[in-house]
Structure 1
């Protein structure tokens, strides 16, 4: 019988290129970094180079890498109950569902667990259609909601193009973004008011009784890290209520401390009907996502079966990691740290870089969820090449950030230290000066 072997970095890379098919990529040009070790805000590659990881990987390592409480919880659970089917109750799933519900108003008490965010959005849409008997869906152009059949159609950004054949029953609308306003606005108040008017006109033009749900990221993530102006989420809630449309808050990326609140919609005075989550719920240590249901929607299925399910719904290992993650965040003040870092250290530091470097058109964000938008000129022409160059120069000097189109996404762990943020800002400053 063959035994598992420990591969060298060179062996790992060779087998990856021979046998692994990567997502969102032309395969021939790939040169993936071999990662051999991680800890806290840092990781090490196959050549022994150390990096500050300000990517969150795919924006999910909210408690950093290898948090000892989460690792220990997974070990303990593996020794006790590795897996059990979702028709059975298990203590970790039960505990985690209550812990998530306790973070929300008392009208949100049921949790349906999935394997990740895209499945969470698929099921939230299915629930909305079952409850309302309607089919059409609303989603913003600047959005990312996943890559499976329905969620890729909900996605508003360009990654949907190759998959979108125009038959998904999704209607897209423009959300507010004053820096690149679609509404000729000159202030946040104007942008908010005109965006809400546009949304309501879209609904009435398409048939106000046709829509099952509106899905919205309370802070837009992959499409640019764009916080909404004050009053926008409240306005969306009012419009949804007016037309009987279920409001789905997609908290997959922004939830569990990323914005300096447990959920990004909590920066506003709104209560969604459904909340989807994943990523930060257990810092991605074991794949997990889910949907939080309002009592009204949950009661719809009291006497009728919900037509959906998953083999690994509420997997014990994943839920154990979630219980430990939330407990660590509460005990260690990690959400509060994210808020303080954003307001006192990271936010001011990135704003200072925007003032210093003409190439930075805007620094925007909240908590530990930030973007630098790079432009070529006063007309705000996006500079995609420079964003890639700055990211490459930062990596050379020991900092990993995400280059997304003409933006740099700067997303450290929620428990990042002041010193690590200051070190990252210095590297970014040097990279912007050199590019």
Structure 2
């Protein structure tokens, strides 16, 4: 098919997610290599969001491709109840990479069903029904994960499933209170969370689920002591701690898993995205030894046709091994330092940049109309004039491909990006921000 035929056929027969369908103009992609991809006209684009923060190792990783081909030659699928070598090897490898309290993996197809099954297991294990999650969170768009989600993408699912309770994020930039330190902020947020636990009834709360670092909703990094503080509340009240590592897992923050930055051991960890870098869909939830032992004698009422799909697990083994053998974490730390420095420079230079937040190669630029009042460039949950879309369009014209959410621009390039490549791309962002500055002045 020509590029025009691809576009015409797609827009005629395919519903594209998170979009009004009229006027869509998808780029026909014909090639991908490393951090770049090309359209049918030969135009090159730089993937500065790792697609959907999942292609951590970029396009064309030979080790992953070869592993998939080898598994295809053996067999492509066998039911989850049968013994598949790739399934066994990946499960063992993942558990060994986890803290010493973790026991077993349940494989899923993606992050949303990983979070749904984590919630089911928490409810089965504790016998309680309520699940706490944060307002500025995204855990997936299927019905259960969408109820776990806090941001506006949950609205079409409402009225929702009983038992899902929301609490506030430690979002210091937008907090009405000015804290003297991160520790003071932590004390405040933990105290408010404990108060809400008391109001909801500790004996009814099965789990507190959190993105370890809030992802698309602004890369909100917990202040010092916050995660241990939540862990302590969970221990005190017999509540499970679920860490959603769908975005932050597999090296994104400079650690293999985001929670390693904060010195905590969760009870359940959900993952997806970077475990195969999108080469084949795969997700899962890792549960503690205690939870795993519970299901020795109690029915695990969870099941998926493609749980632990052999092709996906083969891709996962190759992917995880590549992280280790290519020293990807070292690159994330080194290049992430440059990313942070450059973003801080932009924050100082541009009136439209209210805040920048970054950890490893995971970052967000928060755009405002006024630095003093912190008025966001677009109102929460709405962008009636398509302002953010226009900004993303300006970046696209320069070949800088990413996405926005609310008044944030997400920057999360593949973990293989070099310092030189990063600097080249951030110069494009700098130019576009000059344009935004002029529009708000």
Within 2, Cα distance between the matches of 1:132 and 1:184?
Answer: 38
1:398 Cα offset (Å): 1.4
Given that 1:261 and 1:336 are in contact with CA atoms closer than 8 Å, whether structure 2 keeps it comes out as no
Provide the residue aligned with 1:410 in structure 2.
411
Within 2, Cα distance between the matches of 1:166 and 1:130?
Answer: 20
- 1:151-180 deviations in whole A, cap 9, x for unaligned? 111101111112121543111000201101
Distance 1:186 1:34, change over 3 A: farther
1:68 Cα offset (Å): 1.1
1:317 aligns with 2:311: yes
Provide the residue aligned with 1:280 in structure 2.
274
Within 2, Cα distance between the matches of 1:186 and 1:388?
Answer: 36
Given that 1:52 and 1:420 are in contact with CA atoms closer than 8 Å, whether structure 2 keeps it comes out as no
Provide the residue aligned with 1:425 in structure 2.
426
Provide the residue aligned with 1:3 in structure 2.
none
Provide the residue aligned with 2:162 in structure 1.
168
333, 340, 365: which one pairs with 1:372? 365
1:81 Cα offset (Å): 1.6
Provide the residue aligned with 2:356 in structure 1.
363
1:348 aligns with 2:348: no
Stretches of structure 1 that go unaligned for 5 or more consecutive residues are 1-6
Provide the residue aligned with 1:214 in structure 2.
208
Given that 2:132 and 2:167 are in contact with CA atoms closer than 8 Å, whether structure 1 keeps it comes out as yes
May I ask how many residue pairs the two structures share in their alignment? 428
Within 1, Cα distance between the matches of 2:87 and 2:342?
Answer: 40
106, 115, 118: which one pairs with 2:112? 118
- 1:58-106 deviations in whole A, cap 9, x for unaligned? 1000111111111111111111121111001111111111111121122
SS of aligned partner of 1:162: helix
1:381 Cα offset (Å): 1.1
1:293 aligns with 2:287: yes
Given that 1:403 and 1:409 are in contact with CA atoms closer than 8 Å, whether structure 2 keeps it comes out as yes
Alignment of 1:29-428 (within 5 A): 29-181=23-175, 183-343=177-337, 345-377=338-370, 378-384=372-378, 387-428=388-429
Within 1, Cα distance between the matches of 2:318 and 2:176?
Answer: 43
Within 2, Cα distance between the matches of 1:223 and 1:329?
Answer: 26
SS of aligned partner of 1:226: coil
Given that 2:51 and 2:402 are in contact with CA atoms closer than 8 Å, whether structure 1 keeps it comes out as no
SS of aligned partner of 1:280: helix
Aligned CA-pair RMSD: 1.2
Taking structure 1 as the reference length, the TM-score comes to 0.96
Within 1, Cα distance between the matches of 2:316 and 2:75?
Answer: 15
